[in-house]
Chains A and B, each alone.
Chain A
Amino acid sequence: MSIFEYNGSALVAMVGKNCFAIASDRRLGVQLQTIATDFQRIHKIHDKLYIGLSGLATDVQTLYQRLVFRHKLYQLREERDMKPETFASVVSAILYEKRFGPYLCQPVIAGLGDDDKPFICTMDSIGAKELAKDFVVAGTAAESLYGACESMYKPDMESDELFETVSQALLASVDRDCLSGWGGHVFVVTPTEVIEKTLKGRMD
């Protein structure tokens, strides 16, 4: 079993009309045993920037702590929040620093940039960025998520339709992956509000 599949995870971020959604599953496992059913994979960096981390859970937590530290330092020095594009570059640099002993994580970054334009990206464990205009996926359920998102996505969805689409894609995909599931966590972020919802799916 690959070390990336040790804990199990599913992450997806999708772009809508002047908004974005980022969603994850809630399972934390140790190979076939489920340890927690409320594990948080998506974290807020600032009001308009969220990062989800899939992969080995210890690296997920350590990397998140390092990124929060970097962002707080940036806020003190620059007296403003980091733009999502900038943050993505910071994450990429931090991952590449460990090129020959990497963090075993795959991040998914989603934010609203200048003029509240939605920005999403993912990268591999050594920082290779993949920018997308529609959606990005990560985790053990990535292949299922690719299929589901490709079928269900359409451009310029409003926040409520985007929420429905992301939720259906996530639940359908994790139901075909034994290492992820136990519900879902969805954030839909618009320029004016953040909608955070927990999904109840198959609890297995």
Chain B
Amino acid sequence: MATKQQANWSPYDNNGGTCVAIAGADYCVIAADTRMSTGYSILTRDYSKISKLADKCVMASSGFQADVKALQKNLAARHLIYQHQHNKQMSCPAMAQLLSNTLYYKRFFPYYAFNVLGGLDNEGKGCVFTYDAVGSYERVGYSSQGSGSTLIMPVLDNQLKSPSPLLLPAVDAVTPLSESEAVDMVKDVFASAAERDIYTGDKVEIVIVNAGGIRREYTDLRKD
């Protein structure tokens, strides 16, 4: 009996990296490291995984960066069409749904992209949406994706104590921390992840979205 034919190449590659987002009462912090790798090699130490999708909506994606770039272009195009048709920017929850639909559209040849969407919702409160590769998403108070996510999530759980979404009446999941405290926490968790995850390091790019607009910061990480 002949064995099944198999491809001798894969359309995907994993460029590594970690993304984190934390939602606050009136801000949202989105961060990702700037290392791009393939196998055990580093391609560049200075690659941004963060993309601004709308005025108050920022996406960080780890995984296969070619698919991430294609996804970002796709969403930017759809956002432009939305602006032409509705004469306004897309809100973060609207963009969240669009991203989910875009990912599921390619259910049978997925974007190898692990996304975290962050921004301000229609009421100006911080929101974070976390995704899998085929578009399953959920609004949460904080999330991380990528190679360092298993190292970072337990620490965020421990520090941010997001209540279960099963509680009634529904309790707000955003953290009571101040903006600077949240940024410090992001720097701490990345430092810890960079110690133990070989795909995370070089620099962290931190984007903060609040009522005043969007701000960007960089901090150094281990380069080994």
* Residues in chain A within 8 A of chain B (CB atoms): 143-148, 150-152, 168-169, 171-173, 175-176
Contact = CB atoms under 8 A, between A and B. Distances in A.
B150 interface: yes
Nearest to B148: A147
B54 interface: no
Interface stretch (B56-64, B102-110, B170-178, B190-198): B190-198
A89 to B, nearest CB: 26
Interface in B32-90: none
Interface in B126-167: 148, 150-155, 157-158
A186 to B, nearest CB: 16
A133 to B, nearest CB: 13
B189 interface: yes
Interface in B189-218: 189, 192-193, 195-196
B192 A176 contact: no
Interface of B: 148, 150-155, 157-158, 188-189, 192-193, 195-196
B86 to A, nearest CB: 40
A147 B152 contact: yes
B150 A151 contact: no
A interface secondary structure, majority: helix
A169 B157 CA distance: 11
Contacts of B193: 147, 150
Contacts of A175: 154, 157
B151 A172 contact: no
Interface centre among B151, B152, B195 (most CB of A within 10 A): B151
B155 A143 contact: no
Contacts of B151: 143-144, 146-148, 150
B155 A152 contact: yes
B196 A172 contact: no
Contacts of B192: 147, 150-151
